[in-house]
Amino acid sequence: MTRLAWLDALRGWAAVTVAVFHLSPAVLGSERHLSLYHAFDLGRYGVLLFFLVSGYVIPMSLERHGSLRRFWAGRLLRIYPAYLVAAVVALALGAAGLLRMPAQLTTETVASVAGHVTMLQDLLGVQGVLRPFWTLSYEMVFYLLTAGLFAWGRHRWSGWWAAGLTVVAAVVALPDDLLGGTVGQRRITAVAVLVLLIGVVTAYLTGWKAVSLVAAAGGLCAAALPLVNGSATGQVTGASSVQATQMLAVMFAGTVIHRMQHRQIGRLPAAVALTVVLAGAAVHLGPAVVLAVAGTFAVGYALSEQRPPAVLVWLGEVSYSLYLLHVPVLAVAVHVSGRPLIIALLFTAGALGTAWAGHRYVERPAQALARRLPMINIATQGTDARTRSFGKRHESV
C-alpha cells in the first residue's frame, strides 16, 4: 500500500458517486432522481472531489520529476489513450442507435473535432460525445496553468490563484460565452485553441528553456476560457463563467493543501486562501455539496497514515476508465432491460468490468510506455526543464 493510497481511495469514491448519479434516473425514475438532485447534487459532489484531488496531485507529480518535458509526455499518455477509446466506443454506440450523439458533430464538425482533440470542448461551446468529458476541459486548463507557473518559477503562488479566482468570480461581471456565442465564434476559437495547444505542448516536449518559457506564457492564456467562456455550451455543468472559474479555484485549493502539508506556504495564508475558496464555492456551487466535499477530503487527509479499504484503493486505480466508460455501459444496460434491478446489476458488473479492462489493457501499457520514453537530462544539455534552473523556489502563497 503506497503512502498516497488515501488519494486513490478518494478518487475511487468520487468515481463511484458520479456513476451512481448517472445510474439514478434509470433505477429510481426521473421524478425521484430530480428530487434527490435538488436536495443534494451527487454528481457535482463527485466531480468537485475529483478536482480537489487533482489539484493536490498534479503539482506534486510535476515537481517530483522536475521536468516539464516528462510531465507532458506522462500526462498525454496518461489521459489520451483511454479518452480516445471512450470516444470510439461512444461513436460506435451512437452509430448503433444506443447513445444519443450531440448534433454539433454534424452541424459544427470543425469546432466539435477541434474541441474533442484539445479536451477543452466544454469551454469551447462544444458538447462532448460523452457527458463526463466536460470535466476534462478543466483538467486540461489546470495542466496548462500549473505547467506555466512552474516554468516561470511561480508555482508556489497557488494560494493567490485559488483566492484570486474566487474573488474575480465574486466581484467581476464575467461574460458566459464571449468566445463561443455563435457558430462562427466557436469554429474560430476552437481552431485557434487547437493550434495554440499543439504549439504549447510541442514546445514543452522540446525541452528548450526559451521555447518552453514562451509556451508557458501561451499556456497561461488558458485561464481566459473559464473566465469568459465558462458556459458556452449552455449546459448545467457550467451554468456560468462564475461557476467555471470557481471550479478552477477548487483545483488550486487542492494545491494549497499540498503546499501547506509540505510547509511550502504558511498555515495562516493557506487558511485564508482556503477559507476564501470555501466561501465562494459554497455560494456559487452549493453549500451542502461544497461542505460535503471539504469534509470528505478532510477525513481522507486525517486518515492518510491509515490503510484505506482495499476496494476503494482499487476503484481509485481504475477510476479514470470507470469515469469515462460508465455512461456507455449504462446505455447498453438500459437497452437490454427496462427493469431497474436488472439495469443496476448489469451496470455494476459492466462498469467495473470495463473499468478493469480499460485500466489493464489501455492505461497501464500507456503509462509503462511513458516511463520507458528516453528523457535527456535537459539541465546538462543547456536547455532547461527542471525546477532548479527554471527559477528559484518561491516560498510564497
**pLDDT category of residue 333 using cuts at 50, 70 and 90:** very high
> Does pLDDT of 7 surpass 50?
yes
Degrees (nearest 5) of the Cα angle 193, 194, 195?
90
The three grid cell numbers given for residue 276, joined into one nine-digit string: 476564501
Per-residue model confidence as pLDDT tens digits over 230-254 = 875 555 455 689 999 999 999 999 9
Q: What is the pTM of this model?
A: 0.92
Q: For the ranges 35-39, 63-67, 197-201, which has the lowest average pLDDT?
A: 63-67
Per-residue model confidence as pLDDT tens digits over 12-55 = 999 999 999 999 999 999 999 999 999 999 999 999 999 999 99
**pLDDT category of residue 375 using cuts at 50, 70 and 90:** low
Rounded CA separation 236/397 (Å): 33
Alpha-carbon distances, residue 255 vs 222, 248, 286, 327, 346 (angstroms): 18, 11, 21, 30, 38
> Does pLDDT of 149 surpass 80?
yes
> Does pLDDT of 90 surpass 50?
yes
> Does pLDDT of 121 surpass 70?
yes
Residues 6+ away with beta carbon under 8 Å from 382: none
Q: Which residue carries 487527509 as its cell?
A: 301
Burial environment of residue 204 by CB neighbours within 10 A (0 to 12, 13 to 18, 19 or more): buried
Question: Quick one: which of 346, 396, 269, 135 has its CA closest to 143?
Answer: 135
